[in-house]
Structure 1
């Protein structure tokens, strides 16, 4: 109803992003997208926002299906109705920490693109398996990719502090932000020590070392920009494990060492082209014979 004041949900994940359990009071029950939902006086559940998905977890043992922000309120969409007034909530730590690694990795990657090749970040999406960042550049060389990746990982290995603080937009000129903020009023600033300053509402680790590793997987053109797909932390380890297993299986299949694998593949490709040419020639001869038989 217009004019009705909404409740403001206290965001406990800003106080401690490493905390996984909390107590709260249900201040409102409602329907969201046809499903039961609750608004709490405080929550550890991060809502989907800024390219980062929402947290997963349980409220009184009931699975939380989605978490969205509605003004000052955070709406928790749940699997079924809750009868209690007071609740106990638990977030899935594996999901939370994964999102922290990917999101902080994106901040570092975006700043490196900005510093090295003057590439501005246009969008960011944290996917279930990989993440993407869109940079407003039209082309990039393999050497530049290696430089970007190296510098990003250097920042991680230096284990720099990541600080989160709030500032009024009237003092925003005092902070060397990588890009102008979208929101106004009180802003949350995420700082990678002496490297990057970004207005951001996401969850982040305390130090860059917790990100583990950044690996750029591939890139493609989108509109007039380039979109880079990347993984951080445990995702990077899992990607390396998968690729290592594939490489080992292929080298075993061809009884070849890793260093000789490209030579083996090239020889197979050349043999394939020769065989394809022979097949085409034989097909042409066969077609000629069939035509002669028809004429006769």
Structure 2
């Protein structure tokens, strides 16, 4: 694969990029299932993050020996503290290692119009995403085995796609965001995206769900423009960019990904590559 010219950190093995309703999560699920049938043990961000947290707890509390104790301790921790000190610590370390990236993301959140609810939601999602990434890298060495339907490049759409100045800070963000080995791009016409979101209102992300149809369409059109810019930037930095079918053809899309994704994107924590 082409050597990257960006100073960005190595990120997830595979990320997905697309508008809401394009079927990123559906395709990711089919891809992981197909990969496992081929003998590859790939993980989602959430699953890998949970495993990394368990590893951190085992090291921090070595006197606790049984899995039952770990489970009980985690449940108690969640009942008392919605966010644990381990998560806060991981997020802080991420920000220390990536100060300019964190600043660009926070600046983008501040431009989400005068909408405290949206800013709060975006902040929580960013917090969870960064701490999981940090824990995975610390506990498992790298994130090459992780499949991210919503990775750092997809975050560029949700962070910069709502503000009045969508390009403010975007160049800095793209320059410093951890880059995946491969990027699966699901292109979807904004009109079709709006139709799909209308057909499933409960799954439409906020604030798109609160917008009138004309504003929703203009926002999706802006996202489509940003998507092309993000994909082109990733390709220029050495990321393998793969166009895949929509979620109506997820099985075929998973096959295409398995055939076209580079070998190093399919390395999984010391396990064999694809047969």
TM-score by length of 2: 0.24
Bigger relative CO (Cα 8 Å, ≥ 6 apart)? 2
Higher-strand-fraction structure: 1
Higher-helix-fraction structure: 2
Q: Which has the larger radius of gyration?
A: 1
